[in-house]
Structure 1
Amino acid sequence: MSADSQSFAVIQMVSQSDVLANLGQAEQLLRQAAEGGARLAVLPENFAAMGRRDAGAIGLAEAQGEGPILPWLKRTAAALKLWIVAGTVALPPEGRPGDKVRACSLLIDDQGRQAARYDKLHLFDVDVADARGRYRESDDYAHGQAVVVADTPVGRLGLSVCYDLRFPELYTALREAGAELITAPSAFTAVTGAAHWEVLIRARAIETQCYLLAAAQGGIHPGPRETWGHAAIVDPWGRIVAHQERGEAVLQAARDSNEQASIRARMPVANHRRFAPGKLAGDENFSQAAWRPAQILE
């Protein structure tokens, strides 16, 4: 693939609790992506730490410039000349270091600058029939409040994270904001992943006619926790064009903008939509009381 192509990479990891060890492994995988011609690479959710319950302390240190993760991200992106979607990093709201942290997906450009930040909208507060049993992300994190899209060398990118995949209205909003590719860095449990992962990532790609870049955690972590893996790249027709079941991997593909435009022209679902968030198109009597839209940030 040429350096000027619309090539991108999706990374699968098996992150542990040691932040510096995880960053070292992530750097090797990102270097592999860059050497393969990728212009942008997506790291999984919790790439820097899994099995830790000190998200607040990690986030505060990073916000105060005392943590290793943000400097590493900026340095690595600049050194590799690679745009990086940093799965999730625990950070407080910008300008409010004392507030509860959020699960942030950061977009870093190839000069090492932050190009966008998405705070995870939907938090994983569920009971799962696995060794851990109970997951309550809201114990450690606050909800995000905005839908985020940004321009990148591979196309207009919409940001999402893991549990967001179960809420299609977010992806409708990303498509309406011009997304051509959507990231979904994840750490699905083995139980929920086996049941729903593939159908969710393919459905979100099909309904938005976007490339779905589904980075993942895939293995055994402290906690105890087992993640499903199956990192994948899905094209706008819903085809899985790259896939890894378990373990570490770098998946690469290139966006075919002509084919994507053709798919959207031949099946213009965005123009056919009669349900909009909170209303039925053309029906002034349809209730909008239950819809609370997130702000869109570009």
Structure 2
Amino acid sequence: MIRIAACQYAIELHESWEAYARHLEALCAEAAERGAQLLVLPEYAGLVLSGQLAPALRGDLLASIEGIQPLLQDWRALCTGIAAKLGVYLQPGSLPVRDADGRYRNRAWLFGPGGELGFQDKLMMTRFEREHWHISAGQGLRVFDTSLGRLGILICYDNEFPLLARTLAEGGADLILAPSCTDTEAGYHRVRIGAQARALENQVAVLQSPTVGLAPWSPALDENIGRAGLYVPPDYGMPRDGVIAESAALCPGSSQWLICDLDLDEVRRVRNEGQVFTRRDWPEQFERIRPA
């Protein structure tokens, strides 16, 4: 049994590094004090760093992501220190990172008690990211080996594409982290339905962490709607609707943690003893529909 925490993360303005660091440290400490071993923040949670820029820069869509690049090294060190101090695994949300080719990618790092474990880039870009923000797609999927189990990360829109989660499942992931950032209720439900479908198809667990609240100072994070949730395949020993837990309010006024206990051995058991074997039977569908 592991205890995991997904944050409904309110986008707040922190105008100094010290204020932001105190905020992130206190937020993570709150979850750790409640026994959480894995902490997940949402897509673009790291973009809150842009609050430290001058108003004209943080209010400019492109200038805001350029302006936070000098802060990334200190941000990674901060996250490394929080994970080590609290003895937790921390996925502190994603943020745009400029790579050596000059392109920005939406990147989610994972930190553990022993240091930085690596990152996963978003692979499928929304229209806003592609057409207005000029964020480029990453390449490849990674499974992270941890003392809690094997984890994968699918960022927001990536959860709406079955083959991505299938690739992680075939790589041994038992739990997929789904940091998300959506500005409409419809957008939230698209990701949430995708997350639950991926849990059903692959007989794995999926943990969603969303942004919430209004941030008129940020053209990228101005409106945020979402609900944190933990989803599993609905089968023997699992909740009948496949929902272990969801946060109570769709859009609370402040950051709130959804903290859940998850037995990955029980999730694995369903693959061998369930009413259905969706994971095992996946290849059959392609054999049946392949043209003669």
Output the TM-score relative to the length of structure 1. Answer: 0.79
SS of 1:41's equivalent in the other structure is strand
Please state how far the C-alpha of 1:123 moved relative to its aligned partner: 1.1
Which has the larger helix fraction?
Answer: 2
CA 195–86 in structure 1, closer or farther in 2 if over 3 Å, else same: closer
Partner of 1:239: 242
CA contact (8 A) 2:6 2:40 kept: yes
**CA-to-aligned-CA distance 1:5-27 (integer Å, 9 cap, x gap):** 52211111112353644443332
Q: 1:261 aligns with which of 254, 259, 268?
A: 268
Q: Please give the alpha-carbon distance, in whole angstroms, between the structure 1 residues aligned to 2:8 and 2:26.
A: 12
Please state how far the C-alpha of 1:175 moved relative to its aligned partner: 0.8
SS of 2:67's equivalent in the other structure is helix
CA 121–197 in structure 1, closer or farther in 2 if over 3 Å, else same: closer
**1:40 matches 2:38:** yes
CA contact (8 A) 1:16 1:22 kept: no
Q: Please give the alpha-carbon distance, in whole angstroms, between the structure 2 residues aligned to 1:86 and 1:207.
A: 27
Q: Please give the alpha-carbon distance, in whole angstroms, between the structure 2 residues aligned to 1:103 and 1:153.
A: 26
Matches within 5 A, 1:76-95: 76-93=82-99
Partner of 1:229: 226
CA contact (8 A) 2:144 2:151 kept: yes
Matches within 5 A, 1:56-67: 56-59=66-69, 61-62=70-71, 65=73
CA 162–23 in structure 1, closer or farther in 2 if over 3 Å, else same: farther
**1:270 matches 2:272:** no
Matches within 5 A, 1:190-229: 190-193=184-187, 195-222=189-216, 223=218, 225-229=222-226
> Which letter does structure 2 place at the counterpart of 1:176?
E
**CA-to-aligned-CA distance 1:90-115 (integer Å, 9 cap, x gap):** 2233xx2x52121111011112x211
Matches within 5 A, 1:147-186: 147-186=141-180
> Which letter does structure 2 place at the counterpart of 1:229?
G
> Which letter does structure 2 place at the counterpart of 1:37?
G
CA 260–218 in structure 1, closer or farther in 2 if over 3 Å, else same: same
CA 140–8 in structure 1, closer or farther in 2 if over 3 Å, else same: same
SS of 1:212's equivalent in the other structure is strand
**CA-to-aligned-CA distance 1:98-155 (integer Å, 9 cap, x gap):** 52121111011112x21121011011115xxxxxxxx646634221001111112221
SS of 2:45's equivalent in the other structure is coil
Matches within 5 A, 1:65-80: 65=73, 68-80=74-86
Over the aligned positions, Cα root-mean-square deviation in angstroms equals 2.6
CA contact (8 A) 1:14 1:218 kept: yes
CA contact (8 A) 2:199 2:205 kept: yes
**CA-to-aligned-CA distance 1:192-211 (integer Å, 9 cap, x gap):** 33553432221121112111
Partner of 1:291: none
Q: Please give the alpha-carbon distance, in whole angstroms, between the structure 2 residues aligned to 1:25 and 1:262.
A: 39
CA contact (8 A) 2:96 2:105 kept: yes
**1:108 matches 2:106:** no
Question: What are structure 1's unaligned runs of at least 5 residues?
Answer: 127-134, 287-298
SS of 1:215's equivalent in the other structure is strand
Q: Please give the alpha-carbon distance, in whole angstroms, between the structure 2 residues aligned to 1:274 and 1:118.
A: 26
Report how many residues are paired. Answer: 263
Q: Please give the alpha-carbon distance, in whole angstroms, between the structure 2 residues aligned to 1:226 and 1:12.
A: 14
CA 258–75 in structure 1, closer or farther in 2 if over 3 Å, else same: closer
Q: 2:121 aligns with which of 104, 119, 122?
A: 119
Large movers: runs of 4+ above 6 Å: 282-286
Q: Please give the alpha-carbon distance, in whole angstroms, between the structure 1 residues aligned to 2:183 and 2:147.
A: 32
Q: Please give the alpha-carbon distance, in whole angstroms, between the structure 1 residues aligned to 2:47 and 2:22.
A: 12
Question: What are structure 2's unaligned runs of at least 5 residues?
Answer: 51-57, 235-240
